[in-house]
Structure formats: C-alpha cells, structure tokens
Amino acid sequence: MSEEFAVDDIDMAIVERLRENGRATNQQIADKLNLTAATVSARIRRMEDANKLRVVAVSDFAAHGYNVLMEVAIEVDGRPSSEVAEELAEFPEVFAAHLVTGRYDIDMLVALHDFDDLADLLLNKFSRVKGIRSMMPAIAVDVVKYKFDVAPIEAREGV
C-alpha cells in the first residue's frame, strides 16, 4: 500500500466491538455502529492489509492443561542472542521469546503442564542450546492481568 493509512474513530469502534466479541459478524457490528455490513467488512480488510489489525483466537492455558506459567531470563555468551532466541523459540513450551536490553539478553514466557516438567525443560532441553551462559527462571504464582489486546491503536496525547 503506497498511501498513508490512518485509523479513524469508526475503525476504532469496529476494533472495540471485535475485542468485546471476536465472533461478532460484520452485520452484528454494523447494526451496533449504524453502518452497513459491507462497510464493516471493507474497513476490517483495509486495516488487515495495512497491518493495523489481526483477528486471532486466544486460548486459556489452564483449559489446555498448562498449570505452570514461567518467565525465563537468559544471558547469552559466545553466540548472537538472536540465534539463541530463534533456537529457544522452537521449543513447544515457549510461547513468547523476546530480545531485550538490560542484565539479560532474552526473555521468554513458558507454559508447562506441571512442575514435574520443569527439571527436564531446564536441564535437558534449554541447557543443550549453545550460547546460554545463565538462566533465571521465575514462576508465576498468580496472574493479575492477562489481556491479548495490549497493542492500543488509539492515538496517545503527548507521545
């Protein structure tokens, strides 16, 4: 797309309806916003094409038998952090991997079925990845907030 794309109030209202109910049809959204279903469909497609919107399904960890949520901070030595992160991201237990600044080079979020899986993951799987100097696991004891719609599209004042 060559022209500049700007999200307007109607686009934001459509996104808000999708956040409330990701299964809402274009017609249901249109009815709430006094638009036509074709307008809603075209605007959703336009936002998707401009990489401003991605509609996804989010599953619940516990519903799939994952009872341990853990952050693992990784310090890398002797190998590019990006390569180590790419290799770690291949493990099915890892659902998020980030290159970060600060004391550690990589920060990951990991889901396990239970604590019995912890030793195998750290000692037999992650430890075989070349370039890891240290790992600092931190187990989540409670989830205070878990929202998937964390990327706001609203314009922020003073930014």
What's the pLDDT band for 156 if we cut at 50, 70, 90?
A: very low
What is residue 159's predicted lDDT score, i.e. its pLDDT?
39
Residue 107 is predicted with a pLDDT of 97
The β-bridge partners of 72 are: 108, 137
pLDDT averaged over every residue in the chain: 87
Q: Are 45 and 67 members of one domain?
A: no
The pLDDT-based confidence of 29 (bands split at 50, 70, 90) is very high
Within this chain, do residues 104 and 37 fall inside the same structural domain, yes or no? no
The tokens describing 63, both together, are 């519903």
Same domain, 135 and 71: yes
User: Residue 97: which domain range?
Assistant: 62-139
Residue 103 has a pLDDT of 94
For 43-84, the pLDDT digits (tens) are 999 999 988 888 776 667 777 788 899 999 999 999 999 999
75: domain CATH number is: 3.30.70.920
The CATH number of the domain where 27 resides is what?
1.10.10.10
31 shares its domain with 98: no
Question: 36-72 burial by CB neighbour count: b if 16+ within 10 A, else e?
Answer: eeebbbebbeebeeeeebeeeeeeeeeeeebebbbeb
Does residue 2 have a pLDDT over 70? no
Query: What would the 3-class secondary structure string for the chain be?
Result: CCCCCCCCHHHHHHHHHHHHCCCCCHHHHHHHHCCCHHHHHHHHHHHHHCCCCCCCCCCCCHHHCCCEEEEEEEEECCCCHHHHHHHHHCCCCEEEEEECCCCCCEEEEEEECCHHHHHHHHHHHHHHCCCEEEEEEEECCCCCCCCCCCCCCCCCCCC
Same domain assignment for residues 42 and 88 = no
- Whether 4 is covered by a domain: the verdict is no
- Is residue 2 a part of any domain in this protein? no
At 19 the pLDDT is 83
Find tokens 């934001």 and name the residue. 12
> 22: pLDDT confidence band, cut at 50, 70 and 90?
confident
